[in-house]
Amino acid sequence: MLLRRVEMSLLENINKDNLPKHLAIIMDGNGRWAKQQGLLRAFGHEKGTKSVRITVETCAKLGVENLTLYAFSTENWNRPKLEVDTLMSLLVNSLKNEFKTLEKNNIRLNCIGNIDLLPSKAKKELLSVIEKTKNNTRMTLTLALSYGSREELLNAVKIISDKVKNNIISIDTIDESIINEHLYTRNLPDVDLVIRTSGEHRISNFLLWQIAYAEFYFTDVLWPDFKEEDLYAAIISYQKRERRFGKTSEQIK
């Protein structure tokens, strides 16, 4: 009951007119959570899916337009095969189980990353849910899967260079908008707020271009323990900050 009162108190302090239009979360700490419980890492990842559901539904209710979750990085392929297989299996099951939640909340599923590397079953399920939810309008949920920002930028440079070589783009016209058009996130706005759980203070190759002017919020809470009140606290912290984008405080005012 006390926890619920704290949660409601935090919610009342959120300004619905000043929400981040694009919230990105580095979901960290599943393995450490499992270790603390004396369990295998797989149990931490499974418990973490519940925090995903809570976060997605809470963001939709608040009115956040875009939510991007760092689900699996290009570097994560180097983890033990058993853990990777478990994560891919959880991905398939989560997509199947959460489809109704996405539909109920009018949420569109999106994905960024090199999904050709995903197992065929996972890729098929992912593309199926993306297709079925493509007309939903309340919020866009983007999963960063097999994603690495350096790879994303490298691919963009190669594609743009090829277009210059073939006289499709003039080198003199290349600007930020051209680069944006060739990123995985071409249909998303820049990130306003990045949350990272588990006490780590790293970006871990996540949306390096898109977070140029983002605010950062680090919390010691492990991802499986991340609840509504933790999300509210992050957003309240964001709303207390002055975002100047290179200008002075006087210019903003």
Q: What is the pLDDT of residues 77-129, one digit of tens each?
A: 999 999 999 999 999 999 999 999 999 999 999 999 999 999 999 999 999 99
For the beta carbon of residue 16, count every other beta carbon within 10 angstroms: 7
CA distance 3 to 129: 35
Q: Give me the mean pLDDT over the 228-252 stretch.
A: 86
Q: Give me the mean pLDDT over the 178-194 stretch.
A: 98
pLDDT for residue 244 is more than 80: no
State the DSSP code for 18: G
**Average pLDDT of the chain, as a whole number:** 94
pLDDT score of 242: 84
CA distance 55 to 226: 8
CA distance 95 to 131: 12
CA distance 157 to 159: 6
pLDDT for residue 23 is more than 80: yes
pLDDT band (50, 70, 90) for residue 3: low
pLDDT score of 1: 56
CA distance 242 to 253: 10
pLDDT score of 4: 63
**Using H for helix, E for strand and C for coil, what is the string for 51-82?**
HHHHHHHHHHHHCCCEEEEEEEEHHHHHCCHH
CA distance 17 to 56: 19
Supply the residues annotated as catalytic: 28, 76
Question: pLDDT by residue (tens digit) across 72-90?
Answer: 999 999 999 999 999 999 9
Question: pLDDT by residue (tens digit) across 161-177?
Answer: 999 999 999 999 999 99
pLDDT for residue 137 is more than 70: yes
pLDDT band (50, 70, 90) for residue 246: confident
pLDDT score of 11: 85
Question: pLDDT by residue (tens digit) across 200-223?
Answer: 999 999 999 999 999 999 999 999
